[in-house]
Amino acid sequence: MNKLPRDKKIILFDGICNFCNDSVLKIIRYDTKNQFVFTSLQSDIGKEITQYLGIDTSKVDSIILYEPNVSYDIKSSAALKIMNALGGVWKLTQFFWLFPEGLRNIMYDFIAKNRYKWFGKKEECMIPSKDIRDKFI
């Protein structure tokens, strides 16, 4: 865990999910403050982080936002914190904080449960292009 960047927020995502991969690329595009790095849940570092945090990936297999030595969030809370950090029009999503976490996660889980059926999946994790490779750990 010593090799993790201490000045970045780490987004762990499902590396074989097309929707998740597209979301990562969108976050990279709008992360003008360069505050995020990424790793897939399936990667060795992803497995190391989830094990360190005590997260059972058979129950949480989508997004995790980890701020080393600060905190971590999962599901809808992670997504909302990421969108807030992007700023701009993304801050409008903060409206959803008005809803209880349990209710937000019901909708989040519905999308997560159907993501492969709706958006498809890859046989293996995406390989980042040369111009965004430094965003991945």
Of the pLDDT bands very low, low, confident and very high (cuts 50, 70, 90), residue 33 is very high
Burial 45-59 (b: 16+ CB within 10 A, else e): bbeebbeeeebebee
pLDDT at 126 over 80: no
Please calculate the CA angle 9-38-135 and round it to the nearest 5 degrees: 95
Q: What is the mean pLDDT of the chain?
A: 88
> Where is pLDDT greater, at 7 or 64?
64
Q: Mind listing the pLDDT tens digit for each residue in 73-117?
A: 999 999 999 999 999 999 899 999 999 999 999 998 898 888 878
Of the pLDDT bands very low, low, confident and very high (cuts 50, 70, 90), residue 135 is confident
> Could you tell me which of 48, 46, 105 has the C-alpha nearest to residue 74?
105
